[in-house]
Structure 1
Amino acid sequence: MKNVFRKGLGLFTIALLLLLTACSGVANTGTNSGSSKGNTMYIGLVNAPVSFNPINSSDIAASWLEKFMFDTFLEMTGPLEFTPKLADSFETEDNQTFTIKLNEKAEWSDGTPVTANDVAFTMNLVANPKTETAIGTYLTIIDGLNESGKFPDGVTEIPSLTIVDDKTIQFKTKTPVDPNMVKEQLGSKFMILPEHVLKDVAPEDLQKDPFMQKPTVTNGPFKFVQYAKDQYVEYEKNDNYYLGEVQLDKMFVKIMPAANLVAQLQTGEIQMNAAGGIGKIAVQDFDTVKGFENVTTKTEKTYGYQNMMFNTEKITDEKVRQAFAYAIDREKIVNQLLKGEGEIVDGPYTSVSPYLDKDLATYTYDPEKAKQLLEEAGWDFDKTIDFVVPIGNKVREQSADIIAQNLEAIGIKLNTTTYDFPTIMSKAKAGEFDLLLMGFTNTIDPDVTTVYGSNATSNYTNYSNPEVDKLLLAGKQEPDTEKRKEIYNELQAIWSKELPVFTLYSDYDFGAISKDVAVGGPKVFGFHNELYKWAMTGAE
């Protein structure tokens, strides 16, 4: 009788989700026949983008969406494994002078050749102090720029940047560095802008330029068509794509609550979910998805993680931050919400990272110790904490309930509010929170200056420690892998004590892909590799 009830409840839930999904998003005739969909693919995403500015996207969703239309020099297809893309080669002989040779056939979507001038234009834009950018830390290693990756006073171009010819550019770092760090950050994450389109836009006006909401000229396999806010992004094939003919005519990325992913996978309204935590299928729904006859599934460990950020200007005492950490039952989150399909993480490196210090002492669930630390810190138990939570990721939302219960159990008063992701980003940048939940997918390379560096673009905690800044710089400038591990072990120990960010868990990535897809699929590494080959079955 219980099994009958559960089955009936499951069917009712799916029916309800189908009704909800029918009322939102872009319409498509989803069936189990690939030929009926024509040559269009649909992907499900749970986070809406803030903009489409490749040099100023601090949210994962925007960067992920941009890579359909802007190619990086390289694609990272595995941990520190790189495949040529916009660049035929990205090499160094001395770990200090790097040479990028662009693909000879590379063109912008308007037919204009992609040249070394576009690379120099974009790098100089990022280095300009007037430009609003989220990737400035990628340039801090470059010779001639200051510790923030910006021009010193009186400088208007990167002095160590040399255009060798139309398709070749060189740059020099301040000291020899680990080439894998450069290849991951500048190679697989840095996207260039078209100089001939944007050269007359003042750097300080770039973020507000219409191009950043509707990129009209791009160099990737797909061209931007439109963004229906909070509903979908529509792309069409780039007929001028240099790596080969794009097989799909159109691509839609549909934005929806996580629960709707399940229903639309079943009906064929989407052919896959986005990877990397931004198309997360809730673990409690994944068993349901595994049972769908029209999809295949897979599970992958990831280097992304969920964390709780402290506004260190409001919660100033590290003892209080440590108390909050001891109060939170992360095992309950992993075992109950993730059903064991994840891992507890202390610090910015998951078990995928070769730089994780496995010998570092971790925070265990200990509410009595939490209370003791609060007493020692002289905590005002009448104080109310503003706890800010993003919507869209179902497990994260549910983890917020556990965290709230845990903190209230040690006497903390909370005011919990939830917002969509663009609002979360606005509040994070403005420091309008005491505690903030957010997910990060950084890099396999251990440099996390963007999160922990003083005044860094994703340092929403307002954390500042000169010793940390010094070690972060040393880590970036050290070419020897073993010596780098020593530096980052030291940093992990400092962060564990001072705790500007308390890492909660890393949930495994659940991928689902329709059997209507002939080529392509969600994956943690190399999702955007060879997008031009992606195809539907039965498409002509």
Structure 2
Amino acid sequence: MRKIMNRTMSLLLVAIMAFSLAACGASGDNSGAAPAESKAAGETAGAQTGSSGEKIVNVGVTDTLGSLNPLQLNGGEINKYATALMFLPLMELDADLNFQGMVADSITTEDNKNFVVHIDDAAKWSDGTPITAEDVAYTALRLASPVINNTAMMYYVFEGVGDDGFVEAGADSVAGINVIDEKTVQFTTKEAMSLTTFQNSYARYLLTLPKHVIEKYSEEELATADWFNKPDVISGPFFVTDYDVDHYISYKANPDYWRGAPKLDKLNIKIVDGSQLYAGLQSGEIDITQHTMSVIPPEDYASVEALDNVEVIYGSPVTNQSMFIQTGNIPDVRVRQAMLYAINREQILNELLNGHGEVVDGFLSSASPFFDDSITPVPYDPDKAKALLADAGWDGSQTLRFYVNSGDSTFVNAATVMVAQWAAVGIKAEVQTVDFATLMSVAGTRDYDILAVQYTYAPVDPYPDVAWLLGGEGSWTGYGDAQVDEALRATQLTSDMEETKQLYSTVDKKVQEDVPMISAYIISAQGAVNKRLTGAVPSVYGFFNDVQNWDVAE
């Protein structure tokens, strides 16, 4: 896996941005977002039974939609979940971080190279046609098409796919994706891969399409076909009826949904600015928010908690406010250690996030099954920081360039505090606030000393992200270590949970020791749901898994 990743690092970076930074741009800074009062076509305000007896629910989100075409999936949260309401993934994580079967009822491997996917025998399209292995293989083939040109799917890991992630133009099959029988398809990778990585990075993002309906389109047509805007054959609980990429997505129920007809008649996703979520929840125009697609500003937490009509649920701590250090620019580990000792992270967490989160060292939070709670975070110790700087011969003449997302007002404030705390020990740093797109551009150039971004490392499968970020020259940190490389490689060769935990512990301990990255804090974000909704609970993962059971109390 490492060999493949090294040859295709720029491609992997694109995928990492899509999969792991899903919530980063959703900081409540959506210029042009519709005000909370605007309505999608046919929408009525709030969870209610309309005048025609229809049950309608509005989900408030703070990020904009890219496309509803599963072949153009970029991995962004709203893109994935809005599309998966129509086309189910093979599997999905549930609220407890277990893999829940969706189109597939099982995925197994005996050698960490051949992954056997079995389609649920009950799975069918809305026109009554069974969902088959041919549908899955056809969708995978199109995702690997150079004509479709989806660079986010990372299909270069499979046999028969080039290192650019694509098959030959015009190919009618993929050597590493084979139909075994009507309900079974096998994926074969070039290098060893853990079952968890296959499930999390591939099964969750393959949204199967109906081959019998769309095979009439050429590959060129599939990239832009209007059919995807209002598909008439789906596998999921809702048909889309109308959408505006910046303002709303409207759905109607699929009465023939094979996992059970939805209790709701209509569902609307309303795209608003983060500062509008409180007002929407208060008025009832927004019924539910989710922790990563719906970023409620921390300054509004207390106001939302005070609302009588909603229940507040804080999510598991998964979003890491990471500060990546370009180790080539700050090569002395003692200076990087001093930067960590000089920050009072507990104070920042308590004062800016009202304690809704945690402080850790490394990449894993307590939400991960591989979290090692024996790793005690480095404490705030300015005297220790000064001693380390003295040992390093730090003269204080260098000014560190600290890039921060201007749309994340909470961390902009945190960065100001950190700069003052660094100054107190003799480290000069200058905060440079830029919008999210510019921040990602700067990350690509690596022309910075410190770069801060909210990063969600998948709790059950941090491997792809961590391997990239610690991947040596060319990565965001420029940091490479043989012990870390070996531990990460070994995570792909075992299915033993305890062994995997020890391997990730090795990585986090080295990160704590060498400080290529500082975890400022882990966010436990606020979610909220109108008390009139039943069966609907805000959750970081599995939010829409059983949306067919959502209902509105009479």
Q: For this structure pair, what is the TM-score category when the shorter chain's length is used for normalisation?
A: 0.7 to 0.9
Distance 1:322 1:58, change over 3 A: farther
Please state how far the C-alpha of 1:222 moved relative to its aligned partner.
2.6
SS at match of 1:289: helix
Deviations 1:462-515 (A, max 9, x none): 646373444323211223333323322222233334434322222224231112
280, 288, 295: which one aligns with 1:280: 295
- Taking the aligned partners of 1:422 and 1:381, their CA distance within structure 2 comes to 30
Structure 1 residues 215, 485: CA separation in 2 closer, same or farther (over 3 Å shift)? farther
Classify 1:128/1:413 alpha carbon distance in 2 versus 1 (closer, same or farther; 3 Å): same
* 1:486 partner amino acid: Q
Residue type matched to 2:366 in 1? S
1:322–1:499 Cα contact (<8 Å) kept: yes
Task: Say whether 1:523 aligns with 2:533.
Answer: no
1:259-270 maps to which residues of 2 (within 5 A)? 259-270=275-286
Distance 1:499 1:238, change over 3 A: farther
Q: In the alignment, which residue of structure 1 is the partner of 2:120?
A: 103
The residue correspondences of 1:410-429 to structure 2 (distance < 5 A) are 410-419=426-435, 421=436, 424-425=439-440, 427-429=442-444
Secondary structure at the counterpart of residue 518 of structure 2: strand
Q: How does 1:411-490 map to 2 (within 5 A)?
A: 411-419=427-435, 421=436, 424-425=439-440, 427-429=442-444, 431=446, 434-453=449-468, 461=476, 463=478, 465=480, 467=482, 468-490=484-506
Residues in 2 aligned to 1:379 and 1:104: alpha-carbon distance in whole angstroms: 68
Q: Work out the CA distance in 1 between the residues paired with 2:192 and 2:368.
A: 22
SS in 1 for 2:85: coil
Among candidates 314, 320, 329, match of residue 344 of structure 2: 329
Name structure 1 gaps, 5 residues minimum. Answer: 1-19
- Partner Cα distance (1:430, 1:460) in 2: 10
Structure 2 equivalent of residue 10 of structure 1: none
- Taking structure 1 as the reference length, the TM-score comes to 0.78
Which segment drifts farther, 366-375 or 346-355? 366-375
Give yes or no for contact 1:511–1:522 (8 Å, CA) kept in 2.
yes
Greater mean deviation of Cα atoms: 241-250 or 401-410: 401-410
Residues 58 and 377 from structure 1, CA distance in 2 versus in 1: closer, same or farther, beyond 3 angstroms? farther
2:368 aligned with 1:388:
no
1:374 Cα shift?
Answer: 5.3
Identity of aligned residues (%): 29
2:244 corresponds to which of 204, 224, 228:
228
Kindly provide the amino acid, as one letter, of the partner of residue 116 in structure 1: A
* Matched ranges for 1:76-155 at <5 A: 76-92=93-109, 97-104=114-121, 106-107=123-124, 114-124=131-141, 131-136=149-154, 140=157
Distance 1:33 1:239 in 2: 19
SS in 1 for 2:526: strand
Gap change, CA 1:271 and 1:369, over 3 Å in 2: same
One-letter amino acid of the structure 2 residue matched with residue 57 of structure 1: N
Report the CA distance between 1:210 and its aligned residue.
6.7
Distance change >3 Å, CA 348–CA 190, structure 1 → 2:
farther
Determine if contact 1:290/1:296 at 8 Å carries over to the other structure. Answer: yes
**Aligned equivalents of 2:226, 2:340: Cα separation in 1:** 43
* 1:354 and 2:369 correspond: yes
Which residue does the alignment assign to 2:14?
none
Q: 3-state SS of the aligned residue for 2:186?
A: strand
1:387-406 paired onto structure 2 within 5 Å: 387-391=403-407, 395-406=410-421
- Assess if the C-alpha contact under 8 Å between 2:193 and 2:493 holds in 1: yes
Q: 1:103 to 1:481 in 2, by over 3 A?
A: closer
Q: Is the 8 A contact 2:196 2:461 kept in 1?
A: no
Cα offset, 1:113, TM superposition: 5.5
> In 2, are the aligned partners of 1:381 and 1:413 still within 8 Å (CA)?
no
Match for residue 506 of structure 1 among 504, 522, 530: 522
Which residue of 1 is the match for residue 175 of structure 2? Answer: 159
Distance in 2 separating the partners of 1:282 and 1:527? 20
Deviations 1:227-265 (A, max 9, x none): 434433333434553323233333222233333211111
The Cα shift of 1:270 comes to 0.3
Q: How far apart in 1 are the matches of 2:275 and 2:224?
A: 35
Change (3 A) 1:399 1:249: farther
Superimposed CA distance per residue, residues 151-171 of structure 1 (whole angstroms, 9 cap, x where no aligned partner): 79xx99653432022332123
Which of these residues, 336, 353, 359, is aligned with residue 344 of structure 1?
A: 359
Contact 2:339 2:385 survives alignment (8 Å)? yes
> Which residue number corresponds to residue 257 of structure 1?
273
The TM-score, its normalising length taken from structure 2, stands at: 0.76
Three-state SS of the structure 2 residue aligned to 1:90 is strand
Query: Is 2:91 the partner of 1:74?
Result: yes
Which 5+ residue runs of structure 2 have no aligned equivalent?
1-32
Q: Shift in Å at residue 269 of structure 1?
A: 0.8
How far apart, in 2, do the equivalents of 1:371 and 1:233 lie?
Answer: 54
Indicate conservation of the 8 Å contact 2:151/2:165, yes or no: no
Q: Which residue identity does 1:133 align to in structure 2? A: T
2: CA distance, partners of 1:526 / 1:21 = 27
Amino acid at match of 2:350: N
Q: CA deviation at 1:124?
A: 4.4
Q: 1:17 aligns to what?
A: none
- Quick one: structure 1 residues 342 and 99, their matched pair in 2 at CA, closer, same or farther if it must change by over 3 Å? same
Q: Is the 8 A contact 2:362 2:509 kept in 1?
A: no
1:305 aligns with 2:323: no
**Bigger mean CA deviation after superposition, 513-522 or 229-238:** 229-238
Instruction: Decide whether the 8 Å contact of 1:389 with 1:400 is kept in 2.
Output: no
Q: Distance in 1 between matches of 2:201 and 2:349?
A: 30
1:57 aligns with 2:89: no
* Equivalent AA in structure 2 for residue 90 of structure 1: I
Superimposed CA distance per residue, residues 301-330 of structure 1 (whole angstroms, 9 cap, x where no aligned partner) = 333322223345655555544343333221
Q: Distance between the aligned counterparts of 2:395 and 2:246, measured in 1?
A: 41
Q: Which residue of 2 aligns with 1:14?
A: none
**Correspondences of 1:211-226 after superposition (within 5 Å):** 216=231, 219-226=235-242
Shift in Å, 1:344? 0.5
Q: Which amino acid aligns with 1:134?
A: A
How far apart are 1:116 and its partner, in Å? 1.9
The Cα shift of 1:68 comes to 2.6
Judging changes above 3 Å, is the alpha-carbon distance between structure 1 residues 312 and 59 closer, same or farther for their aligned structure 2 residues? Answer: farther
**CA–CA distance in structure 2, aligned partners of residues 379 and 193 of structure 1:** 61
After superposition, the Cα gap between the structure-2 partners of 1:297 and 1:383, relative to the gap in structure 1 and judged at 3 Å, is closer
Range with bigger deviation, 230-239 or 29-38: 29-38
Write out per-residue CA displacement over residues 257-302 of structure 1, whole angstroms, 9 at most, x where no aligned residue: 3332111111001001113x33233444333323322112233433
